[in-house]
Copies of this chain bind each other. A is one copy, B any other.
Amino acid sequence: MARSRMRDIAERLGISEAAVSFALNGKPGVSDELRSRVRAVAEELNWRPHAAARALADANAHAVGLVLCRDDNSTSGESFFIQFIAGLSTALESESTALVLQIVPAVAEEVQVYRRWWNERRVDAVVVLNLIRDDPRPDALAAIGCPAVLVAGPYAPPGHATVSVDDAAAMHRIVAHLVDRGHRCIGHVGGPDELDHAQLRRSSLSAEGRRAGIQTALARTDYTEQAGYRATRALLRRKRPPTAIVFDNEILALAGISAITEAGLRVPDDIAVVSWEDGPICRLSTPQITALDRSAQQLGRHTSDAVLRLLGRSGAPATSAELDPELLIRASSAVKRLTN
């Protein structure tokens, strides 16, 4: 079955192609009655506007680009990506906007991809994840004129559309839970220094610690399981080791539990464990792991709303895109400690 063309609709109705075009493009010159007949036949023949012709006609690609920067050694965050894409692509498709995807090993190559996509008019806008310290991407995108939505914390560079992720509020919720359970020294095993959100989570924990009058202990990883194991061991060897550790995702938490167990300590009796991401691992671990329910899918939907507004394709009011993740309290942090 060939793709339907305006000519097919014209032949079916015994009218000119120009009349079909006027009817389908909402132009005057055809009666309302003919317009509705043309639309009915177009529907029946499953006619769709030609994406490339439409792109040339209105100078839009009707596509949004997303580049995932992914180190081969790190499989963490995969669940986040898939769920984020699920939310993003579904909402875009409802506006007939495609999602174009590329996976690269490093940020430098990511900028090259944006440049090529934009020069080829492959995308109308891009979504940028995981901002880093002195990130080259916002400036590069501004220089080539490609609209972008940054998924970022409060430190996002001004002048770009931003979907804000309030990691500080999430950290407040976690610390309140742990302090309530009697913890007076809380550790954190997070991402590398150059990642904006890793920095923000560390500074949030420090601020929460000062406010609550408790100690904090910070460790950095490259998000690999090996680094999570080593970082946890290092925290446990401190003069005053933490009695609770917050891990940036469930893979790090699992690696941390290995390190805790091998050190002869128990979860949650000796060390409480919290994961910043929920997932099957948190539910299937023994004990089950307390986790933030971040809903990457919802974040993806918020992001697509922001993209469509930026492109003027959505009349939806600018709602706040901040997420307020719940903390799912499970056995790994459930013990109430006797504080001295």
Contact = CB atoms under 8 A, between A and B. Distances in A.
A5 to B, nearest CB: 10
Contacts of A116: 48, 96
Given A1-B144, A286-B261, A48 B120 contact: yes
Given A55-B52, A75-B279, A75-B280, A85 B61 contact: no
A258 interface: yes
A10 B102 CA distance: 32
Nearest to A60: B52
Q: How many copies does the complex hold?
A: 2
Size bracket of the A interface? 35 or more
Contact of A3 (B76, B79, B121, B251): B121
Interface of A: 1-4, 46-56, 61, 63, 68, 70, 75-76, 78-79, 81-82, 85-86, 89-90, 93, 96, 98-104, 113, 115-122, 143-145, 225, 251, 254-255, 258, 261, 279-281, 283-284, 286
Which 6 A-B residue pairs are closest in the complex by CB-CB distance? A52-B55, A48-B119, A51-B120, A86-B103, A254-B284, A78-B82
Given A49-B120, A75-B279, A76-B280, 5 more contacts: A46-B115, A52-B55, A75-B280, A89-B101, A96-B120
